[in-house]
Chain A
């Protein structure tokens, strides 16, 4: 008796009044307009990456670049920095962070949501508390600690603070809490061990949350700047965000190169997001078809 996830619309059996059609159309328009406004800075970024530095400085403002296929900024980005290597490094780090987060967070989420052991709330609060500590105050001792562990300038070192996501624990706990206890009890009666329950009952029911967490954690880790900057010293280990920042300095910002690099750094994420989003949708639809 899985709930069929569908949109919040009145049943189609009833004929839709003109007003309802009008309202629905208005809502769609509002959503679309909002999306376009939110998307605009990207359009602006992409367009700017096709302009040369003097074009950008020009007043009054001109939206369109002089030459629409002017990729010289992109060429310059690759010439100045080994940007492909940065993309690879970021991909590796973000993948590890995302997978690790999902695994650990779903386990912890299950523990927090469906069990009642002593100290549960305290532990949960402790985990949420990690989020409340300003990273800047912890960075120096954390660096020293990483140094002792020999993890400086390594993938593990870059990923270390990111291996578990507090948000992930939150999200999974939320998602798992919504699973009716009857399912779990039924599985227990059937003799399944707790771990089996986790794999067979819990995980399949929270696929959308898992996909969400994967995407979000991947993106979050991809866009980390401060910690990677502190822990990385060799040019081959640099990540994409550091590559981006190399087009700024203490005096000025090279917007033409910065926007080109920013576009380059977003494209992979876009790809991953589009792919994973389809999986989210499939997962949702699949769970709807089951039972």
Chain B
């Protein structure tokens, strides 16, 4: 409290500087607050109410929490989401890193721009449009993927119709859309690494792999963590691709938390239950992010 008083009425240079820092952050806080605070609070309040036929609301305390958190459908959705995550996050980060490293090596600027544009282009499509196009590419009968695979002798796969392939197939759509985004972040970071570091390493006779391990990756640490966190958050909330294509099918194999949340809120008219799921998502993501941050934050010594 005393600290806040000193911010508001600064006495020393340090105080003044702290105040400046706070003021820089204030617009963002105000924006988010004015748009989201009320709706967020309202949404949490919903989780304590049940909407009965006719539209009236009754307060039920923690009953909905108990109901949702003991529902097997909910946990199946959580497990499906986790399976999707285990595919998409590592694949996206590793591929994006690999592509960025590869692009970084291309000295001809025009070619590099061309390739990096092509990688980035999927980000220019909306998730829904991408999902619809991919759904068609995945079609077992007249989709392009099976057609191409038939030339290599692989029999037609069911992709989005298969209980096992549907999750990776859906995850792949997200990977395709987002890979350019992460590549761009890594590439921008790679290009800010001072050349001197590599020159010094070369004087010491370091190999390419050693350069990667001891210079590049540690310096990219911050970006890697950021990308991992963002991809985790983004893929945990996966919804658009699922809803546009399989709607949770077949047989619930692609039912993710958010698609279940959407159905619960708007098709089953149970806003309270949906809000409970939202609270669950928030708490889980917050916990995981904090954990990731704590574990992987290494100070980089220049």
Whether both chains belong to one complex is answered with yes
Within 8 A of B (CB), among A16-61: 23-24, 27-28, 30-32, 34-36, 38-39, 41-42, 44-45, 57-61
B21 and A216 contacting across the interface, CB-CB below 8 Å:
no
Separation in Å of the B269 CB from the closest CB of chain A? 12
Are B198 and A116 touching (Cβ within 8 A)?
no
> Once the chains bind, are B115 and A31 in contact (CB under 8 Å)?
yes
Give the total of B residues in contact with A, Cβ under 8 Å. 108
Contact of B265 with A by CB under 8 A: yes
Residues of the B chain whose Cβ atoms lie less than 8 Å from the Cβ of A15? none
Report chain A residues within 8 Å CB of B111: 28
- Which one of B119, B196, B261 contacts A136 once the chains associate, using CB atoms below 8 Å? B261
A142 to B40, CA, bound (A): 8
- With contact pairs A8-B193, A60-B147 given, residues A38 and B176 touching in the complex (Cβ less than 8 Å): yes
On chain A, the residues within 8 Å of B181 by CB distance are 216
Taken together as a complex, chains A and B put the C-alpha atoms of A129 and B106 apart, in Å, by 38
Q: Check if A208 sits within 8 Å of B233, measured CB to CB.
A: no
A289 located at the interface, meaning its Cβ lies under 8 Å from any Cβ of chain B in the complex: no
In the complex, the answer to whether A208 meets B188 with C-beta atoms within 8 Å is yes
**Given A3-B192, A225-B128, CB of A163 within 8 Å of CB of B31:** yes
Interface residues of A (CB under 8 A from B): 3-11, 14, 23-24, 27-28, 30-32, 34-36, 38-39, 41-42, 44-45, 57-61, 63, 103-105, 107-108, 110-112, 114-118, 120, 123, 125-138, 140-142, 144-145, 160-161, 163-164, 167, 169-171, 174, 177-178, 194-195, 198, 208-209, 212, 216, 219, 222-226, 241, 244-245, 248, 253, 255, 258-259, 262, 265-266, 269-270, 273-274, 277-278, 281, 284
Given contacts A126-B29, A130-B32, 15 further A-B pairs with CB under 8 A are A28-B102, A31-B102, A38-B121, A63-B144, A104-B27, A107-B28, A111-B21, A117-B25, A134-B277, A137-B275, A140-B265, A141-B43, A145-B39, A208-B192, A270-B124
Which B residues are within 8 Å of any A CB, using their own CB? 3-4, 7, 17-25, 27-29, 31-32, 35-36, 38-40, 42-43, 46, 99, 101-107, 109, 111, 113-130, 132-134, 136-137, 141-144, 147, 176, 179-181, 184-185, 188, 190-196, 198-199, 202, 208, 211, 216, 222-223, 226, 229-230, 233, 237, 239-240, 257-258, 261-262, 265, 271, 274-275, 277-278, 281-282, 285-286, 289-290
